[in-house]
Structure 1
Amino acid sequence: MKVSASREDRARGGSINFLGLTWQLKPSDGPVLNNGLGTGLPVNSDVATLPSGGRGPWAGRNSSIDTGNIEVGRRVTQEVPPGVFWRSLLHLSQPQFLKFNISLGKDALFGVYIRKGLPPSHAQYDYMERLDGKEKWSVVESPRERRSIQTVVLNEAVFVQYLDAGAWHLAFYNDGREREMVSFSTNIMDSVQECPRNCHGNGECNSGVCHCFPGFHGMDCSKAACPVLCSGNGQYDKGSCVCYSGWKGPECDVPITQCIDPLCSGHGTCTDGNCVCSVGYKGQSCAEGESRRVNGVVIPQGCVMV
């Protein structure tokens, strides 16, 4: 049995009889294909984009902010809503090593996309850097197999990128939950080829000497800075800190004249760097309750005789 309805019936709604039953056709909101079926898709719909990291809300239809042309050496600032690209255009008259200095919030999560000739997207770009304000620093491999570095210290990010002459499109994508204020500037560097191993991309070359970005050290900036152990006031030995004279505490970060717990757990008074505990308490910070003996019987702290 063959049942059909006209294209017009399908487009505006109507009814057909099939197997002895009357079936109501739902009007189609979208265009009608040449097979007589509607696409079922809304016309002129607002397409929303979810940030790829999943940390941000849905963005509106206007998903980009365009600053236009920017100049090398000039700092620009923009508040970027979540799920939105902030775009700009940079013209280079000759190939350059360009240093990017970026300021962002501690909770910010941004993708920085760079593409020659055309605006970049999540899927089409020449270079990409991921900037997470929660990270102190991280190393990222670029799509063109050039090791690049981003350094985030006190919400400052720095990376160096070699760019050919031409028009370069930049795009900052806010993949976080909140609106974020971000600013950046670009500066031309001397050729890093003059320095040993090109400073590994982790520093700036000046007259043949590498000046390392925060988080790196060494003549060629190849060594990542180690965390400061024992607050610099002691030596780390067998899993714990041995403090130098004048310091104390698990991390050697408390002067000898101060109490580790200034409040002495609420059960004592700090005097000359030591807790003088109230009756019934003991320990370095008066955190331990003392037991009492009554007629030879041990009564735990907190118990009341009745």
Structure 2
Amino acid sequence: MFLVENNTIDSGEVDVGRRAIQDVPPGIFWRSQIYIDQPQFLKFNISVQREALVGVYGRKGLPPSHTQYDFVELLDGSRLLSKEKRSLSDADDGVVVAISARRGEDDGVGVAISARRGEDDGVAISARRGEDDGVGVAISARRGEDDGVGVAISTRRGEDDGVGVARRSSRSDEGGGVSVGVARRSTRSVSVHEAGFIQFMDTGVWHLAFYNDGRNHEQVSYSTVVIASCPLLCSGNGQYSRGRCQCHSGWKGPECAVPSSRCVDAHCGGHGVCIVGACICNTGHKGANCEEVDCMDPSCSAHGVCVHGECRCQPGRGGASCELPKAMCPDQCSGHGTHDAETGSCACDPSWTGSDCSQEVCTVNCGSRGVCYGGTACRCEDGWTGAVCELKACHPTCAKNGVCKDGKCECDQGWTGEHCNI
């Protein structure tokens, strides 16, 4: 049953494993519900057309919206894998099924049931009788006024008694007869584009919503399959624990599929070379796969800290790597104090010291991985975080579905992957 209300089509509850299909107008949500009797991973197989722009929203207990959901997948049909499926052809194609018995040139007894696409759609039943007895059954298909292809079995009473099999057109012959015919049905190819994703579903009623963000009506279909085992199998070379694979000796990678003697990214992001399983990065890049931008001099000449590939220099230093001293007049006190002309000395602002007020006084020790700013806080270099830059940092997406511990993301239940985004 389909209910339409407030720009929403609701098809009710859909059983796991059953395919649901719906034509969705632009700007409309197509909603349905799935009941999950126990926590499990569910794979969604979705088919859309090439030009489709569809958002797939899921929420436990309540209908989702654009801003309230437990998960969302955005599908662009032009970027998905496609396959061809067969569909009925256009306007003039038709199917006619006829059962007839004729007893003469004109008359007969028969039943004809026809269904055509085009100008003369309809269903017809007819009966005739005539001089020449005959009994027959016909099944045929027409594509035009009198064009048809069929296989016929006929029996006639008259000069030529017998039973035969004949190929005939849709126009009747002069003699009575009986025929059975089956005709060709015209089809055309339609390109559908498919997507799939796996989602952890806790016990309860889950509300799904497919939103058509395109300009045209789109036919959308989906089915679900229970994934019996953990979706990340560690390739048989490790153990799955707390949202990630713990690889056995000799293997590495998010799914333990890469031998230790090889690099996870054989091309090292295009910014390095793989040597005995490790990426040796070019100057200006860093990371396990050379995927991060680094400063040309990561130490910033010991007068600054590298942040997002750029050296943040200490006061009085400049240059791309903080290698140049900045000439400043003594009476400027480095911009952090007031010059006393009589004594020729600087009276420094709070949190600054030194003869020229160029040294910041910090209440915290930022160590070797950060620099003090504001007198009370640390600005950490890339890859480190914490109040005094003492913690290894994780990818920013880790915080959404997991907890960062010593540079590794420990995923919440239902999430997996190196950054807990799967």
**The TM-score by the shorter chain falls in which range?**
0.3 to 0.5
Higher relative contact order (CA 8 A, sep 6+): 2
Rg larger in structure? 2
TM-score normalized with structure 1 length? 0.39
TM-score when normalising by structure 2:
0.29
